[in-house]
Every structure is written in C-alpha cells, then in structure tokens.
Structure 1
Amino acid sequence: MQVSERRIVVLGCGGTIAGRAASASDNLGYRAGELGVEELIAHVPVPEGSTLAAEQVANIDSKDLGLAQWCALSQRCAHWLAQTEVAGIVITHGTDTLEETAFFLHAVLAPVKPVVLTGAMRPATSAAADGPQNIADALSVAASPLAQGVCVVLAGTVHGAIEVQKVHSYRADAFGSGDAGPLAYVEEGRLRVLRAWPQGPALRSAGSLPDPDAWPRVEIVMSHAGAGSALVRALVKDGVAGIVVAATGNGTVHEALEGALLAAQEQGVAVRRASRCAQGRVLPQPGDRLPGADGLSPVKARIALMLELMQ
C-alpha cells in the first residue's frame, strides 16, 4: 500500500532570515524582508516522506509588524490546518516580535498540528547565515508526530509559545524559555522531547477576529525608579481600552504610577500587572488592587488583554 506524503506549508513573513546585505561580512547593515520564501527553502533539505508548499503572507521587518499582518497570518494558518493532507506549518519570521506572533497564534488557533515559527539572527547573505539550518530544524519539527501546537525553533532548540522570549540582541542562540525550560531539542533532524507540549483552548477564533481597526487599544507602560503618572493620564485621555504595566520584581509598581493606574481602572480602563523580570511570574497576594497577568510577559499580556476585551 502506498503511503501518502506529509505536506508541510511554509509561510513567509520576512525578517532577518530573508534579509540581504551588501557584504557577506555584514551582519548588521542589512535590509530585512528582501528574499521571498521560495528562495529561502530552495536548498533546504526536506524531511523524508514530506513535500513542501510555500506562500508569502508578508515580507517586512518584524519590528513593523501590525494587527493586519497578524489577522492575515492567522487566517492562512487556519486555512492550511484544515487541509487533511497538511501535517504542519512552518513560518519564517523576524526575531524582534517573533515571541508575540507565536503567542498570538497560540491564542487564536490552539492547533493540534504543529505550527512552527523560526527566524534568523543573521541575514541570508551572511557568511555564517543561521537561517537555512533553522528552517531545516523547523521542518523536522513540523513533520514529527511528537510535535503539536505552536512553538518556536531556533539554534536547535524548541520553545513553547507561552514562555519563549528573545533574550539576546545579537548572538545566534538568542531565545530562551525562562524557568520553564525548552520543550525539546532538534538533533540531526530528530526531535528529543523534554516536556509536554502546552495545549489549551483558543482565547478567540482566528475566523472571528474583527477588522484590525476595531481591535481594542492596549498599551504597555513600565514601572521604574522615579516613574510618574503623566503617561497613564495621557493614555486615558487618548481613549486607551487597556494598560499593561511592566512592573518591578513580583509586580510592584512605583506609588505615583500605581495611583494613576488605579484611577484609570476606576474610569473603566482594564489594567494588568506583568513583571519586567525575564524569569518568574507575578504571584498574587491578598488585597491586590491591580490584577496580575497570569504569568505572561508584558508583550504577551497585552495580546491576551486585547483578545479578552474583544469578548
């Protein structure tokens, strides 16, 4: 009996992995989003028993990513995940906001099939480009029966969408999973699983997302020594729907900033406290007046609050 091949769909979004510089020695002065996804996968080995399909969803520097790109990407993911012959999806993406896109897709798709985001810290023209190996590893994860749900693969490490953070500005091994640790490692095309893949219901269906112009506006402010109230007051006056505060330590907030946030909350603005620390979470205490962010980083808490306010 002939066994049908698994189909892996590669969705291109741009980023450094698709970047081009004038010199192979230049890893900084490049333009992101120059190469198409077809070029990126042209010479990457395909996992045995798999075939590839490619689609360009966007081709931008991920620092410029917006709600419109998130909506389009989630809808294309939902389309391909519904195809029975598709075993998984790989998304090539810039690293600057990769953790945000991963969490967003986790929140609106909650897929059983693997959706694997990858990127690169060096442009495609670099003498030591890391993109091809990252794509090869991502394809291996997408083809593996051990993988499920949304994850991030870089430098041979598989990170969960909830925990993954960019923790270094330059080195190739730039991502971490905090105190939760990685999900798995990719070793010569094989997946070595370390812990259970996170699963959970979607906070909002990708197909029911409103037009990006109708999304509730949620902003992030940071608590620090000498923090004041002016920024929060300006945001409230400007009609913000929610505010996430990147608090110090275990969710502590400068008294002036806290006063402004409490006043905003009384005026109907949704407020959440996340920690600006790279590891750990805000532990709740009796009498907390500002709700915590359920262990999410500030940027992910912003996404969760936007989706919550859509309900």
Structure 2
Amino acid sequence: MPSTIVILGTGGTIAGTASDPSDNVGYTAAQRSVGDLLAAVPMLAGRPIEAEQVAQLDSKDMDHATWQRLAQRTAHHLSRADVAGVVVTHGTDTLEETAWLLHRVLAPSKPVVLTAAMRPATALSADGPQNLLDAVTVAQMRGARGVVTVVAGNVHGPADVRKVHPYRTDAFSSGDAGPLARVEEGHLRQHRDWPDGPAMGLGRLAVDPAEWPWVEVVTSHAGARGGGIDALVAAGVRGLVVACTGNGTVHHAVDAALQRATHAGVLVWRCTRCAGGVLVGDPALLSPAAAMSPWQARVEMMLGLMGEPPAGG
C-alpha cells in the first residue's frame, strides 16, 4: 500500500520570517525552505515523507508559470505507486485560486492537501507547524482523495473555500456548505464526501504560460463607469468576470460596456461580489460562474478558453 507523502513548497507566510517574534504582520514571506518547515514539526520525523521546493514566493505574486510547474510536479508525484498523497505549502492570499486550478485540472483520486499559515514561522505562536501536521494527517488518511485545503483544523473543499479574514488564524471558511471535515487531535471527523468531478487534464496547461488567455475580474459599484472595460477590450482581453452587486446586478454604465464587450467577442460571466451565497434565478439565464467566487470564475474561464482561438482568429 502506498505510504509516501510528498510535500511541495511554494513559499508564503508559512515560510515567512520576522525580526521580532511578537510581530505577526511585519514579516517577509517565503524565506524558509520546505525542508525547514518539515524540521519544525518533530512529530513528522521518521515518517515516509519527501520534500521538494517548487517555488519560493509570496502568494500575492502567484503567477501562471508557477501554477504550471506546481500542477506538473503534483501530477508527477501522484503517478508514483509509492505515493499516498501530496501536501502543498502555500500562501493564504491566493490559496483558493490554486486549489480550484488543481482540482479542475487534476481531480485526483489521491489526496492533494494545500495548507498555509496566517503567522510567520518565527511567531511566538506560529500556526504553520500544526497546519502542516494536520495536512499530512489528512493526506495519509485511508480513503482521502481530491484537492482540499487544511487550515486551523478545518478541511475545506475546492469549490467552497474562501479566505474571509485578513488576519485571524481561522481565516478560511466554506460558507453555507461548511467544512468537509475537521482534524481533531490527529483524528478526522468527516461531514461530507471528498471532492470529485471530471478532470480537464494536465494537457490544458501545456501551452507557454505567457500565452494563457487573458481574463480579468471587474466590479460593479456605485458611480461605476464603463471606460475601464472598454480599455480592456481594446487591449485584447479574452474574458471578463464581473463581481456584481447583489444577485447579479450591475451599474447601467457597466452593463452597457459589457454588452459592447460581448459584441466584440469577449466572453462575459457574472458572479456576486457578496462574500456568501450564490446567484439565484432562472437557470437558463445564469452564468457558469453563478456559484463561484470571482477568483475561481477567472480560473475556470481561463481554463475553458485554453485551446480556443481568439474571436476572429
């Protein structure tokens, strides 16, 4: 039975350092290696674990090239007969976007567990070591599968996870759905099934990251103007995700600009800018992004556009 857990490091706050151990916000992210993070959790010593540094960045600066490399390395290790699962250490800022990308591209039958921290590794009460231990626990759990996020003892599915607080250690939520499971003193209490679904396939990311379709998120708000949307269309944007007010409403100036964008061949999806809930109404009129966050929708649209020629091309 496979038993090896591979930990792929990408940087983030979990690998960050500060000169003052009492400073939980004035730190520099992505300073410690994934090997250092592993060494800080004595309970993992002696277990069949491998560590690999895929990237070393602050996740606010996550880019398509790193996503491509991470997906490729994750798929490589999942294909090994001796590997039970993969853990990815990541920054919190774009964690939910990476989780959705890996879920949609790989939809793995083995567990891929993303974990992170809200405090740097040098903090007096760093949350990274416990989160890493919990992530490995989930990755080693018999029957576990799919892409999940483990932070603050909660296991979140890729469709539901959202960062909902800028500072607290319990900064992630699954909203109305609630977490898939909880890790309690090394034991898993499961509430819902593991994530599943068809995989788009790693080949979707094979193109040069510089050539990935350009998709932007735009918002509607009081006093909104359509000029920014017109400028994006003129610059060659392929798709627009609109973070709408309420249940999919947009300012009239934004609506007019979106109609012009659509006529120019730009794909337009709507979702809500509200932190919770989904768009409701006539299913025939709803966007494919109705139940997604704007950030997930951007990833979904970009993946969908890959391999399709630009309008008029």
TM-score after normalising by structure 2: 0.94
> Which among 17, 29, 50 is matched to residue 32 of structure 1?
29
2:139 is aligned with 1:142: yes
Question: Residue in 2 aligned with 1:128?
Answer: 125
Q: Secondary structure at the match of 2:236?
A: coil
Q: Secondary structure at the match of 2:67?
A: helix
2:280 is aligned with 1:283: yes
2:279 is aligned with 1:248: no
Matches of residues 68-147 of structure 1 in structure 2 within 5 Å? 68-147=65-144
* Runs (5+) with no aligned partner, structure 2: 308-313
Question: Residue in 1 aligned with 2:174?
Answer: 177
Taking the aligned partners of 2:80 and 2:306, their CA distance within structure 1 comes to 28
Q: Secondary structure at the match of 2:7?
A: strand
Taking the aligned partners of 2:290 and 2:251, their CA distance within structure 1 comes to 20
Kindly indicate whether the alpha-carbon contact (under 8 Å) linking 2:131 and 2:151 is maintained by their aligned counterparts in 1: yes
Q: Secondary structure at the match of 1:102?
A: helix
Q: How has the CA–CA distance of structure 1 residues 116 and 135 changed in structure 2, closer, same or farther, with 3 Å as cutoff?
A: same
Deviation, 1:49, is: 9.2
Matches of residues 217-256 of structure 1 in structure 2 within 5 Å? 217-256=214-253
Taking the aligned partners of 1:77 and 1:145, their CA distance within structure 2 comes to 19
Kindly indicate whether the alpha-carbon contact (under 8 Å) linking 2:181 and 2:191 is maintained by their aligned counterparts in 1: yes
Q: How has the CA–CA distance of structure 1 residues 44 and 207 changed in structure 2, closer, same or farther, with 3 Å as cutoff?
A: farther
> Which among 54, 57, 78 is matched to residue 57 of structure 1?
54
Question: Residue in 1 aligned with 2:289?
Answer: 293
Question: Residue in 1 aligned with 2:259?
Answer: 262
Taking the aligned partners of 1:167 and 1:274, their CA distance within structure 2 comes to 17
Deviation, 1:147, is: 1.6
Q: Secondary structure at the match of 1:232?
A: helix
Kindly indicate whether the alpha-carbon contact (under 8 Å) linking 1:114 and 1:149 is maintained by their aligned counterparts in 2: yes
Identity %, equivalent residues: 56
Kindly indicate whether the alpha-carbon contact (under 8 Å) linking 1:222 and 1:245 is maintained by their aligned counterparts in 2: yes
How big is each residue's C-alpha offset from its partner over 1:61-101, in whole Å with a ceiling of 9 and x where there is no partner?
00001000000000000000000110000000000000100
Taking the aligned partners of 2:276 and 2:65, their CA distance within structure 1 comes to 30
Kindly indicate whether the alpha-carbon contact (under 8 Å) linking 1:6 and 1:49 is maintained by their aligned counterparts in 2: no
Question: How many positions carry a matched residue from both structures?
Answer: 307
Taking the aligned partners of 1:291 and 1:172, their CA distance within structure 2 comes to 33
- Structure 1 stretches of 4+ moved >6 Å: none
Q: Secondary structure at the match of 1:24?
A: coil
Q: Could you tell me which amino acid in structure 1 is paired with residue 297 of structure 2?
A: A
Q: CA RMSD in A?
A: 1.7
Q: How has the CA–CA distance of structure 1 residues 294 and 209 changed in structure 2, closer, same or farther, with 3 Å as cutoff?
A: farther
Kindly indicate whether the alpha-carbon contact (under 8 Å) linking 1:50 and 1:143 is maintained by their aligned counterparts in 2: no
Q: Could you tell me which amino acid in structure 1 is paired with residue 126 of structure 2?
A: A
Kindly indicate whether the alpha-carbon contact (under 8 Å) linking 2:18 and 2:26 is maintained by their aligned counterparts in 1: yes
2:145 is aligned with 1:166: no
How big is each residue's C-alpha offset from its partner over 1:222-243, in whole Å with a ceiling of 9 and x where there is no partner?
1111111011000001000000
Taking the aligned partners of 1:208 and 1:24, their CA distance within structure 2 comes to 40
2:273 is aligned with 1:305: no
Kindly indicate whether the alpha-carbon contact (under 8 Å) linking 1:284 and 1:292 is maintained by their aligned counterparts in 2: no
Q: Secondary structure at the match of 1:186?
A: strand
2:142 is aligned with 1:151: no
How big is each residue's C-alpha offset from its partner over 1:207-230, in whole Å with a ceiling of 9 and x where there is no partner?
753110110000000111111101
Q: Secondary structure at the match of 2:232?
A: helix
2:185 is aligned with 1:188: yes
Deviation, 1:146, is: 3.4
Kindly indicate whether the alpha-carbon contact (under 8 Å) linking 2:72 and 2:202 is maintained by their aligned counterparts in 1: no
Kindly indicate whether the alpha-carbon contact (under 8 Å) linking 2:2 and 2:83 is maintained by their aligned counterparts in 1: no
Kindly indicate whether the alpha-carbon contact (under 8 Å) linking 1:75 and 1:207 is maintained by their aligned counterparts in 2: no
Deviation, 1:24, is: 0.5
Taking the aligned partners of 1:192 and 1:47, their CA distance within structure 2 comes to 21
* Runs (5+) with no aligned partner, structure 1: none
Q: Could you tell me which amino acid in structure 2 is paired with residue 304 of structure 1?
A: E
Taking the aligned partners of 1:258 and 1:228, their CA distance within structure 2 comes to 10
